[in-house]
Amino acid sequence: MTKLITGKTKLLGVIGYPVEHSLSPVMHNAALAQLVVRGSVSEREDIAHLGLDYVYLPFPIAPENLKIAIAGFAAIGIVGFNVTIPHKQAIIPLLSEITPIAQAIGAVNTVSRQNNQWVGTNTDIEGFIAPLQTTYQQDWSQKVAVILGNGGAARAVVAGCHQLGFAKIYVLGRNEQKLQAFCDSWSNPAIEENLQVGTWDELAKLIPQADLLVNTTPIGMYPKVDESPLSAAEIAQLPQGAIAYDLIYIPKPTQFLQLAEKQGAIVIDGLEMLVQQGVAALKIWLQQEIPVEVMRQALQNHLGLGR
């Protein structure tokens, strides 16, 4: 059903540059339409009274226009917005407050207007840990996580593993300087304590210890769908009961997850993380129960994944 935009409709959105490939408008507008059109006309009016009449738009904002755009957002009363590449760090000095989670990661992906001030947080951690918590309830305190890649998403994964209580978190990358900078960049000493970084040469030693193996590199992402960060022989070294988690959601599953599944590993793809980080953002803005399945379904349909 088409969403009716009225004089009362409020605005949410996502900033990035470019932003046209963002999947956030698809899933957020599906949820917002569901909240507004649910029920009869009179119920719709009630919903409008409750203030659930929103649309979610993409805003392409070049880096040099970021400051003026955020000031403009305040002037036109935008309720909140998501932040994607290249603004996730650059937005920080423009905000009045940053949550400890966003501070730990050093990046903001969700901003809300509270008491006339911009407050930034990061819902990627919540997105990352949601499928681990809901599907594989377990005590992580004796477990080892091995993370491939040391970019932006790896930061949320490290913070998420720390939050779950992993005994050891290893991050493997290809550039020693970047790895050292990654290791030194945590303001939370408790994270640093459990974190070790190393180069890909350490894979052979670490894979047999990995209870959770996470790919945060773009290797295997569409269109290079035949690539995998690890060979079948390397993946075969995973211990029994290990979880292989790929942040990539196109293709679904990736070559990495297909190989891991063949070896008997439990596999998780990146789609649920994408859905759950969006759900967490919408909860912050609307303070409402969010129709998660509607968001998941909207993304799957958009990506041609069916059910």
Of 242 and 275, nearer to ligand NAP (C-beta) is 275
Of 265 and 280, nearer to ligand NAP (C-beta) is 280
Q: Which helix (H) or strand (E) holds 41?
A: helix 41-50
Q: In this structure, are residues 245 and 235 in contact, taking their beta carbons and an 8 Å threshold?
A: no
Count of CB atoms situated within 10 Å of the CB of 232: 13
Least CB distance to ligand NAP at residue 116 (A): 30
Least CB distance to ligand NAP at residue 246 (A): 9
Least CB distance to ligand NAP at residue 157 (A): 9
Instruction: Report the amino acid identity of residue 173.
Output: G
Least CB distance to ligand NAP at residue 164 (A): 17
Q: Which helix (H) or strand (E) holds 262?
A: helix 255-262
**Catalytic one of 10, 88, 143, 224:** 88
Residues that bind ligand NAP (CB under 6 A): 124, 127, 149-154, 173-175, 178, 216-219, 221, 247-249, 270, 273-274, 277
CA 10/CA 7 separation, integer angstroms: 9
Nearest to 11 by CA among 61, 69, 68, 76: 76
Of 12 and 105, nearer to ligand NAP (C-beta) is 105
Residue 116, judged by CB atoms within 10 A of its CB (0-12, 13-18, 19+), counts as exposed
**Is 283 in the active site?**
no
Radius of gyration of the chain (CA): 20
Give φ, ψ of 282 to 5 degrees: -65, -35
Of 139 and 201, nearer to ligand NAP (C-beta) is 201
Q: Which residues are catalytic?
A: 88
